[in-house]
Amino acid sequence: MKRIGILTSGGDAPGMNAAIRAVTRRAIDKGLEVFGINYGYAGLVAGDIFPLTSADVSDRIQRGGTFLYSARYPEFANVEGQLKGIEQLKKFGIDALVVIGGDGSYHGALRLTEHGYNTIGLPGTIDNDIPFTDFTIGFDTAVSTAVDAIDKLHDTASSHERTFIVEVMGRGAGDVALWAGVAGGAQKIIVPERDFDIAEIAEEVKKGRQNGNKNMIIVLAEGVMHADEFKKELDKYGDFDSRATVLGHVQRGGSPTARDRVLASKMGAHAVDLLLDGKGGLAVGIEDNKITSHDILDLFDSKHKPDLSLFDLNESISR
C-alpha cells in the first residue's frame, strides 16, 4: 500500500477536520501518500481528488465542518456507482480509503471493501447513533452547543416565568437530548426511546410552578415530534406561556471541543494503522475509553443503545 484516500460523507460534524488531519499526518509519518476526495462519494465518482500534504491540514484541527465538503450520493448504493468510484481510485493509484461519516457512509465503505479496496469507517455524526462506539465525532460539541443555548433560555424563561420547549437534533436517537437535558437542568427530557404522556407532563409543569420554579425547560429530541406540535399539545392542558425553540443546524457547526479533537485524532490514527495491517471493512469506535474496531456488517445487525440512566437521573433530580 502506497496511497490512501480520505472522504467525508453525509451530515457534517465538528471534529471531522481533526480526523482528516490525523489520518493525513499519520499516513505521511508511515511513508504513505495521501489524497483528499471532495464531496464524499459524489466527488469520488466525479474524480474530484487531489494530493494532501502535512501543510494542507495545518490550522484545521480547531475548525468545524469539513474542508473536504460533503454531499449526499444515493447512487453509490448501486453497483454501477461503486464501479465508477473504483475506476477513479485506480486512475489515481489509491490503494485504500478512510471514510468519515455515519450509517449511510458505512454502507459505501463496506461495498468498496467487498470490491477489493480496504476501507475503514470513522463515526462522524452529532447524533451519536452508531453501534459499538460510546461516542461519535461531533457529539460532544453538539451537546455543548445545545447546553449553551439552553443556559441562555433559562435566563429569559426566568424573566417571564415561561415554559420553553427546546428541540434538539436526534431523529433516531435521543443522546443529544439526554446529555443536553441533564447538563442544562431541564425539567423534562423527551426522547424516542421512552414513552411519554403530555397530560402528565402538563401536571408536572403546574406542580413545578407551585413549587416556585420560575422557568421550565423541556428538551425534545427532533425524532419524537416538532417543537411547535409539542407546544400545541401541551397548551391544551393550561396556560403555560410556552415557547417553542428549534436549535436546528447550529448544533452541527462551531469549533470542536477538546474531547472531540482528541477523539477524532485517536480514531484517525488508528484507521491508518488498520489499513497498514491490511484490514478493511471495519468501523472504528471507542468503548470504555479504548479505541476499538468492529466489522461494519456487525453494525448493520445491531442497534445503538443510548444511556437511558440519564433519563432516570433527570426524572429524580429535576423536580
Q: By C-alpha distance, which of 135, 136, 121 is closest to 7?
A: 121
The strand pair at 119-123 and 96-101 is best described as parallel
Rounded to 10 deg, the angle between the 198-210 and 227-234 helix axes is 70
Query: How many domains does one find in the chain?
Result: 2
Residuewise pLDDT in 10s, the chain (319 residues): 999 999 999 899 999 999 999 999 999 999 999 999 999 999 999 999 999 999 999 999 999 999 999 988 989 999 999 999 999 999 999 999 999 999 889 999 999 999 999 999 999 999 999 999 999 999 999 999 999 999 999 988 888 888 999 999 988 899 999 999 999 999 999 999 999 999 999 999 888 888 888 788 999 999 999 999 999 999 999 888 899 999 999 999 999 999 999 999 999 999 999 999 999 999 999 999 999 999 999 999 899 999 999 999 999 998 7
Same domain, 180 and 262: no
**Does residue 307 belong to any structural domain of this protein?**
no
Phi, psi of 63 (to 5 degrees): -95, 140
What is the separation of C-alpha 38 from the centre of its chain, rounded to a whole number of angstroms?
Answer: 20
The strand pair at 163-168 and 242-246 is best described as parallel
Angle, CA 150 vertex, CA 155 and CA 288 arms, to 5°: 145
**Does residue 261 belong to any structural domain of this protein?**
yes
**Does residue 308 belong to any structural domain of this protein?**
no
The strand pair at 33-37 and 49-52 is best described as antiparallel
**8 Å CB contact between 100 and 109:** no
Same domain, 129 and 260: yes
Rounded Cα–Cα distance for residues 144 and 184 (Å): 10
**Domain interval for residue 289:** 3-138+256-301
CA distances from 265 to 203, 256, 291, 294 (A): 47, 12, 11, 18
Res 65: pLDDT: 95
Same domain, 270 and 215: no
The answer for residues whose C-beta is within 8 angstroms of residue 112's C-beta and 6 or more apart is 82, 85, 86, 89, 97, 119, 280
- Which residues sit in the known binding site for Mg(2+)? 103
- The total of other beta-carbon atoms located within 10 Å of residue 21's CB is 25
**Assigned C-alpha cell, 52:** 494532501
Res 160: pLDDT: 84
- Which residues sit in the known binding site for substrate? 125-127, 162, 169-171, 222, 243, 249-252
**8 Å CB contact between 162 and 242:** yes
**Does residue 127 belong to any structural domain of this protein?**
yes
Q: Give the domain CATH number at 275.
A: 3.40.50.450
Q: How many CA atoms lie within 13 A of 47 on its CB side?
A: 7
Angle, CA 101 vertex, CA 34 and CA 29 arms, to 5°: 25
Res 163: pLDDT: 92
Rounded Cα–Cα distance for residues 51 and 82 (Å): 22
Same domain, 266 and 245: no
Question: SS3 of 137, please?
Answer: strand
* 155 assigned to active site: no
Same domain, 112 and 192: no
**Does residue 204 belong to any structural domain of this protein?**
yes
Res 161: pLDDT: 84
Same domain, 57 and 151: no
Res 126: pLDDT: 96
**Does residue 78 belong to any structural domain of this protein?**
yes
Q: Give the domain CATH number at 232.
A: 3.40.50.460
Candidate list 48, 127, 129, 175, residue with the active-site label: 127
CA distances from 108 to 92, 137, 153 (A): 19, 19, 40
Last residue of a domain, one of 193, 224, 253: 253
**Does residue 306 belong to any structural domain of this protein?**
no
**Does residue 64 belong to any structural domain of this protein?**
yes
- Which residues sit in the known binding site? 11, 21-25, 72-73, 102-105, 125-127, 162, 169-171, 222, 243, 249-252
Res 135: pLDDT: 97
Same domain, 147 and 247: yes
Helix (H) or strand (E) holding 156: helix 139-160
Last residue of a domain, one of 217, 237, 253: 253
**8 Å CB contact between 51 and 34:** yes
